[in-house]
């Protein structure tokens, strides 16, 4: 039962593809407040051979610096938990040390792994065993590229958020939300898909125990307590360690609403929350995925490339000496010509970093469209195309669930993009509820509060978030115009 008279403090290590943050959250009188303590830049590191990897130790050093700052505040922190992006992983050797490198999901090895494994195991068999959509970046395909010698040296496989939990407390287990994203886990039995792992030829012994969201793993390692000044009794929890699982858990939905969600950031993840997985031919053909979250809820969703295209355009212009903030880019997009050109954001050419403007121009020329020329035109092209892809995805969700959707909740950093929010409402024809921005960190900390008995239920946790942060509502406009553009956009989706 929640104690409304006493402030409770929690720490969230929230790791994203562009940056990581250490956030201090406080719950008092049924309301949340948050303070960013430390921010750690993140991104792919390119090796001499072109391999893309992560500097996870560097990020963890930033976390430790943040923990020192927390200790200086002299507040009684109840617990800490880590969440991160999915599909990537670390392999630990027999002494518990990470085997370098830790590869980035955009590394060129991923498609090779998919091609190799699918020669031995059919896609139909893989989907039937795991219920996950096809993406060459999936953990299953990444592991396929691992040299046999490296797998032999490995003692434990950990996903990224669970690796950080391991570094904090010394206990290596995987939260069910992250396990369910690996394409090696059965969302029906709630166990590793042993038959698939065996057929893939991976050593079963490296896959650790899978635990429910909110499991207490242990306490802060003594040497870290001494280093940071925090209590060695600080609880380390496996929250929803997959960031989308945490964000969906925090969605401030109204009971009884037929809602869908969109986690809007580098990736867009659009789906619905269900009590049971949907694993059938239609789900496979539409390429949806069944992931697990708080209380073993199912996130039936599709991964879409998201704001990655805009982020890459911004990086390109910054490097050329034309720095523009995201707010400025939105302003330029709103003033640019509508529907000058459209792209299929899921075209494979847009997945890798670098030369994004050239790739968009190339796509437009191949499809007989005028190519964007100005930053505003490029960004408008990307955002309008994303909104139209969201429309298609909503329609597919309604087909798959046989249930209409009457509102879309958008959270994450992308929910601050007013142009994309409005164009998404226009394209889908349903109202968009934008916020909260920090849904992932909030879901992380809400799960901690429920696990420790400071919130009585998930419903109470969502209500506390709804009371604490504003939500902006965008109503559909110009739906007939967007319907016409959707017909034009449809021709791009099946082009090879």
Domain with 213 in it: what CATH number? Answer: 3.30.420.40
Q: Is residue 216 situated within a structural domain?
A: yes
In a domain, 291, yes or no: no
pLDDT at 76: 96
Judge if 218 and 263 occupy the same domain: no
Q: Are residues 334 and 415 in the same domain?
A: yes
87 near 137, Cβ under 8 Å? yes
Asked about 243 being catalytic, the answer comes back as yes
235 and 345, same domain (yes or no) = no
Q: What number of CA atoms fall less than 13 Å from residue 174's CA on the CB side?
A: 30
Q: Is there a contact between 145 and 109 (Cβ–Cβ < 8 Å)?
A: yes
The pLDDT of residue 3: 44
Q: What is the pLDDT of residue 1?
A: 36
| Co-location of 363 and 231 in the same domain | no
Q: Are 102 and 183 part of one and the same domain? A: yes
Q: Residue 494 has what pLDDT?
A: 75
In this prediction, the residues of the chain whose per-residue pLDDT falls under 50 are 1-4
488 within domain boundaries: yes
**Domain final position from 193, 227, 243:** 243
Tokens at residue 90, please? 């670390």
CA separation, residue 330 to residues 63, 114, 335, 336, 379 (Å): 32, 36, 9, 10, 8
If asked whether residues 203 and 256 sit together in one domain, one would say no
70-103 pLDDT tens trace:
999 999 999 999 999 999 999 999 999 999 999 9
Answer whether residue 280 is part of any domain. no
Q: What is the pLDDT of residue 83?
A: 98
φ/ψ of residue 410, rounded to 5:
-110, 130
**Angle in degrees, 0-180, between the axes of helices 439-451 and 458-468, rounded to the nearest 10:** 140
Instruction: Tell me if 288 is assigned to some domain.
Output: no
Contacts of residues 200-204 at CB distance under 8 Å and 24 or more positions apart, as own/partner, are 200/117, 200/120, 200/121, 200/140, 200/143, 200/144, 202/143, 202/151, 203/151, 203/152, 203/154
- 63 and 188 within one domain: yes
DSSP state at residue 18: S
List CB contacts of 162: < 8 A, sequence separation 6 or more: 82, 172, 173, 174, 175, 178, 238, 241
Residue 335 confidence (pLDDT): 98
**Whether residue 29 is found in the same domain as residue 92:** yes
Instruction: Assess if residue 55 is contained within a domain.
Output: yes
Which domain covers residue 60, as residue numbers?
Answer: 8-243
Largest CA distance in the chain: 64
Query: Using an 8 Å Cβ cutoff, are 142 and 112 in contact?
Result: no
One domain, residues 347 and 370: yes
pLDDT of 496 reads 54
235 shares a domain with 325:
no
**pLDDT number for residue 2:** 41
Among candidate residues 14, 162, 243, 347, the one labeled active-site is: 243
Same domain, 348 and 207: no
User: Using CA atoms, how far apart are residues 70 and 244, in angstroms rounded to an integer?
Assistant: 26
Alpha-carbon gap, residue 313 to 215, rounded angstroms: 40
Residue 483 lies in a domain: yes
Tally of structural domains, the chain: 2
- Are 53 and 72 contained in the same domain? yes
């Amino acid at each position: 039962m929640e104690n409304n008279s006493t402030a409770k403090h929690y720490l969230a290590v929230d790791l994203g593809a562009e940056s990581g943050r250490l956030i201090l959250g406080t719950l008092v009188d049924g309301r949340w407040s948050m303070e960013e303590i430390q921010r750690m830049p993140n991104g792919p590191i390119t090796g001499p051979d072109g391999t893309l990897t992560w500097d996870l130790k560097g990020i963890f050093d930033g976390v430790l610096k943040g923990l020192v700052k927390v200790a200086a505040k002299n507040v009684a922190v109840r617990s800490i938990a880590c969440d991160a992006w999915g599909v990537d992983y670390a392999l630990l050797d027999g002494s518990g040390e990470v085997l370098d490198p830790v590869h980035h999901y955009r590394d060129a090895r991923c498609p090779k792994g998919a091609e190799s494994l699918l020669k031995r195991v059919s896609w139909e068999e893989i989907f039937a065993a795991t219920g996950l959509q096809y993406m060459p970046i999936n953990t299953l395909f990444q592991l396929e590229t691992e040299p046999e010698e490296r797998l032999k040296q490995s003692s434990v496989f950990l996903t990224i958020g669970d690796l950080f939990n391991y570094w904090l407390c010394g206990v290596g287990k995987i939260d069910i939300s992250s396990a369910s994203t690996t394409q090696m886990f059965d969302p029906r039995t709630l166990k590793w898909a042993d038959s698939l792992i065996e057929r893939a030829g991976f050593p079963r012994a490296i896959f650790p125990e899978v635990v429910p969201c909110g499991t207490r793993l242990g306490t802060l390692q003594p040497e870290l307590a001494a280093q940071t000044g925090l209590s060695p009794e600080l609880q380390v929890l496996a929250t929803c360690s997959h960031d989308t699982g945490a964000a969906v858990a925090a969605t401030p939905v109204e009971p009884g609403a037929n809602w869908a969600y969109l986690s809007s950031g580098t990736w867009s993840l659009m789906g619905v929350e269900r009590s049971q997985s949907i694993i059938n031919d239609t789900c496979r053909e539409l390429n949806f995925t069944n992931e697990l979250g708080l209380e073993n809820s199912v996130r039936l969703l599709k991964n879409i490339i998201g704001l990655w295209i805009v982020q890459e355009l911004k990086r390109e212009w910054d490097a050329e000496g034309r720095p523009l903030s995201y707010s400025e880019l939105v302003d330029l997009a709103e003033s640019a010509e509508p529907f000058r050109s459209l792209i299929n954001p899921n075209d494979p050419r847009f997945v890798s970093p670098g030369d994004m403007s050239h790739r968009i121009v190339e796509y437009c020329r191949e499809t007989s469209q005028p190519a964007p020329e100005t930053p505003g035109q490029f960004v408008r092209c990307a955002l309008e195309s994303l909104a139209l892809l969201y429309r298609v995805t909503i329609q597919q969700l309604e087909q798959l669930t046989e249930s209409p959707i009457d509102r879309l909740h958008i959270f994450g950093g992308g929910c601050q993009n007013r142009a994309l929010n409005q164009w998404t409402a226009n394209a889908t024809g349903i109202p968009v509820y934008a916020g909260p921005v920090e849904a992932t960190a909030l879901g992380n900390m809400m799960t901690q509060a429920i696990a420790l008995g400071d919130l009585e239920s998930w419903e109470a946790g969502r209500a506390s978030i709804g009371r604490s942060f504003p939500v902006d509502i965008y109503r559909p406009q110009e739906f007939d115009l967007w319907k016409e553009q959707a017909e034009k956009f449809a021709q791009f989706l099946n082009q090879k």
